[in-house]
């Protein structure tokens, strides 16, 4: 079934409003963000009972102590341990430990908007979908993080997926986080634990292959806090690209065309470097050198787009941009695209194997105010 199939399979009777919601959250080295994320979950106003299950990885930054303190003070919060620190393993452990018929995934690096759960439940019942997702609204506290957030929110930054700023409700390829029906999750076998990044896309692929609908609702909004440093951003995007390459190895053309733009940029950069060396050494000269110089044109166009992204304000609702944020944009966008593209090529050629998101390991963050 394609995502535009007008007659998706019905997952069954509508969920009663008081049937209860289970929130599941994988956690690893998130001391700076965990308490705010938990508060945004516990503040959700729904008719039925709620629970939050944290899948706690072996953190080294004090996250475990924060999680245990929160669990001791809140009976709705429980902890399951995820010693391997793999996100899909942790999600499955949290789902199996939870009890309610609706499962809402939450990340420790994000915060749910007020009314998120209630809106998600209503959309599930109204559309008959198996999974509903909304908009990821990236935000930043520092000039660097704000530059990353602006890139996340831009189609030029992450390729224009609906959850990066879409406004039209309807069937979708995937869903950010997700408000999901437990019955469908159990039918398709939960998350694939062999996939360390991109597990949500693969899950939604199987949901759609089973005949159910995945739905995008722009009324659902989640605040996402990007990585706080250049090296962590590069590590994150390299790992994400590697696993997208692995998913291309497994599922081929089912992956959207937008995923192939960053590796194309990497190949163009590599080709331009080769041409430049050949020109400087005199191997390429005359008309051959002139013709080969065409390879520089896409890079010039890309550089102009990056500069434009640094200069423009963006949406009218966006706050003014500081000079430091504009400068960071010049580094952030190429870092995201080239790191992702390099990872993608590695994943396609060799597979992702045991690639992990090293940006989540060994962090020492200052808690949010």
The DSSP bridge pattern shows strands 77-81 and 50-56 to be parallel
Taking residues 109-120, what's their average pLDDT? Answer: 93
Where does the chain hold its CATH 3.90.550.10 domain(s)?
Answer: 21-226
Q: Give dist(CA 159, CA 104) in Å, integer.
A: 25
Given this model, what pLDDT does residue 3 score? 43
Q: Give dist(CA 237, CA 338) in Å, integer.
A: 9
Q: Tell me if 73 sits within 8 A of 44, measured CB to CB.
A: no
Q: Give dist(CA 131, CA 178) in Å, integer.
A: 6
- Per-residue pLDDT band for 7 (boundaries 50, 70, 90) equals low
Architecture of domain 21-226 in this structure = Alpha-Beta Complex (3.90)
Given this model, what pLDDT does residue 335 score? 96
Taking residues 28-39, what's their average pLDDT? Answer: 93
The pLDDT of residue 87 is above 70: yes
* Predicted structure pTM score: 0.87
Given this model, what pLDDT does residue 162 score? 56
Q: Give dist(CA 114, CA 96) in Å, integer.
A: 26
Q: pLDDT tens digit string along 126-180?
A: 999 999 999 999 999 899 999 999 998 888 887 655 555 567 899 998 999 999 9
Least confident interval from 1-5, 169-173, 248-252: 1-5
CA atoms within 13 A on the CB side of 276: 9
Taking residues 276-302, what's their average pLDDT? Answer: 94
Q: Give dist(CA 102, CA 336) in Å, integer.
A: 34
- Which residues does residue 216 pair with via DSSP β-bridges, in sequence order? 133, 170
The pLDDT of residue 13 is above 90: no
The pLDDT of residue 36 is above 50: yes
Given this model, what pLDDT does residue 364 score? 46
Least confident interval from 88-102, 220-234, 250-264, 325-339: 250-264
Q: Cα–chain-centroid distance for residue 114?
A: 21
Taking residues 298-326, what's their average pLDDT? Answer: 85
Q: Which run of H or E residues covers position 69?
A: helix 63-73
The pLDDT of residue 369 is above 60: no
Between 276 and 363, the more confident residue is 276
- Per-residue pLDDT band for 12 (boundaries 50, 70, 90) equals low
């Amino acid at each position: 079934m394609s995502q535009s199939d007008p007659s998706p399979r019905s997952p069954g009777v509508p969920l009663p409003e008081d049937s209860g919601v289970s929130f599941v959250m994988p956690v690893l080295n998130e001391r700076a963000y965990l308490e705010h994320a938990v508060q945004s979950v516990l503040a959700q106003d729904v008719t039925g009972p709620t629970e939050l299950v944290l899948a706690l990885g072996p953190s080294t930054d004090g996250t475990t102590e924060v999680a245990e303190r929160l669990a001791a003070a809140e009976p709705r919060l429980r902890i399951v341990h995820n010693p391997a620190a793999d996100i899909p393993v942790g999600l499955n452990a949290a789902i199996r430990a939870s009890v309610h018929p609706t499962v809402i995934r939450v990340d420790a690096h994000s915060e749910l908007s007020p009314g998120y759960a209630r809106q998600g439940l209503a959309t599930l019942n109204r559309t008959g979908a198996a999974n509903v997702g909304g908009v990821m609204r990236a935000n930043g506290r520092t000039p660097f993080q704000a530059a990353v957030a602006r890139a996340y929110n831009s189609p030029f930054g992450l390729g224009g997926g609906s959850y990066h700023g879409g406004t039209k409700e309807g069937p979708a390829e995937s869903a950010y986080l997700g408000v999901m029906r437990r019955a469908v999750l159990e039918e398709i076998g939960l998350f694939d634990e062999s996939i360390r990044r991109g597990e949500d896309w693969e899950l939604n692929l199987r949901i759609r292959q089973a005949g159910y609908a995945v739905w995008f609702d722009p009324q659902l909004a989640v605040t996402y806090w990007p990585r706080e440093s250049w090296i962590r951003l590069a590590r994150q995007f390299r790992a994400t690209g590697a696993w997208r390459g692995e998913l291309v190895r497994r599922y081929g053309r089912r992956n959207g065309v937008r995923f192939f733009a960053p590796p194309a940029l990497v190949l163009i950069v590599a080709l331009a470097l080769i041409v430049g060396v050949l020109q400087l050494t005199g191997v390429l000269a005359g008309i051959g050198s002139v013709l080969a110089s065409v390879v520089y044109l896409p890079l010039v166009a890309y550089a102009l787009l990056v500069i434009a992204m640094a200069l423009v304000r963006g949406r009218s609702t966006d706050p003014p941009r500081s000079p430091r944020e504009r400068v960071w944009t010049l580094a952030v966008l190429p870092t995201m695209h080239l790191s992702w593209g390099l990872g993608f090529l590695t994943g396609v050629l060799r597979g992702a194997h045991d690639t992990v998101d090293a940006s989540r390991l060994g962090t020492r963050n200052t808690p949010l105010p």
